Structure 1
Amino acid sequence: MATVEIPVSNLERSVAFYVEVLGVKVEFKGEKNAMLSFQAKGVPTIFLVETEDRKSLSFSNSHNGVEHSIIDFYTQSLEEFHHWLQVKNIEVGPLNINEEHGFGGFGFKDPDGNLLSACNVLHKGQ
């Protein structure tokens, strides 16, 4: 995967959010778009595009009604990250951790209501 493109209504506000919350680096910033990268691997990148199109990124599971994000970010410290987002007054969903194996995740929203998720499941190659 090379890039995930995310619609935003205010580029400045969104760049500040993604830099602070995800720790990404601004590789390029234009008038209406910005390329952000993760410092460790560099890819995939996040391409923020300012738009008036008010569709937010998420979808509803038609089998159980659960709203899903289309992007999950890995964190080793799931509970700490969840708490940190709450302290920052960022809208977060409930923290779901399977007691049997300790893996889990939660959703949180960017300033435009795009649903993002954090999980502590480490995949091969990460």
Structure 2
Amino acid sequence: MSHFISHVATLEIPVTNLEKSIEFYIDILGVSLEFKGTKNAMLTYKSKGVPTIYLVQTDETQEISFKNTNNGIIHSIIDFYSPKLEEFYHWLKEKDIPVGTLNISPENGYGGFGFKDPDGNLLSVTNVLHSGQ
């Protein structure tokens, strides 16, 4: 069986204020502005290449997240990686970014937490790297 897809190219995120969101994502995620249109922008991690983050200005105010009906936990659909999970958590709190509970396993030190962008889109960060990352 042949595989036609090799990786995730772009994460598309709806935003209501493009300028505010560009500032947020550059400041909080450390991405660079690759392209900026009147109603959209492409952001990238220069050192890693993929995936890019495509911000699209829209009046649609639906937030990106979902509820796991098995346990009631609200999940993001995007997990970012940080080797300095606790430091990042406290840094976000100092910047008054809405953050969830910092969950770290005492057995292996792996964990993560959620935080929100200016439009209430739920993003997550973890210190877990998977094979090939």
Q: Same fold (TM over 0.5)?
A: yes
Find the aligned partners of 1:24 and 1:13 in 2 and give their Cα distance. Answer: 14
State the identity %.
Answer: 64
Q: Which runs of 4+ in 1 moved over 6 A?
A: none
Question: Gaps spanning 5+ residues in structure 2: where?
Answer: 1-7
Which structure 1 segments of 5+ residues have no match?
A: none
Structure-1-length-normalised TM-score: 0.99
Structure 2 counterpart of 1:3: 10
1:51 aligns with one of 38, 50, 58 = 58
What is the aligned partner in structure 1 of residue 75 from structure 2? 68
Structure-1 residue corresponding to 2:3: none
Partner of 1:33: 40
Between the aligned partners of 1:3 and 1:71, the Cα distance in structure 2 is 11
Aligned to 1:79: 86
Shift of 1:40: 1.2
Provide the C-alpha distance between the structure 1 equivalents of 2:20 and 2:130, rounded to a whole number of angstroms. 31
- The residue matched to 2:25 in structure 1 has which SS? helix
After superposition, the CA RMSD in angstroms is 0.5
Equivalent residue number for residue 122 of structure 1: 129
Q: How many residues align?
A: 126
Which entry has the higher C-alpha Rg, 1 or 2? Answer: 2
**Aligned match for 1:105, one of 92, 100, 112:** 112
Once residues 44 and 125 of structure 1 are traced to their aligned partners in structure 2, the CA distance between those partners, rounded to angstroms, is 14
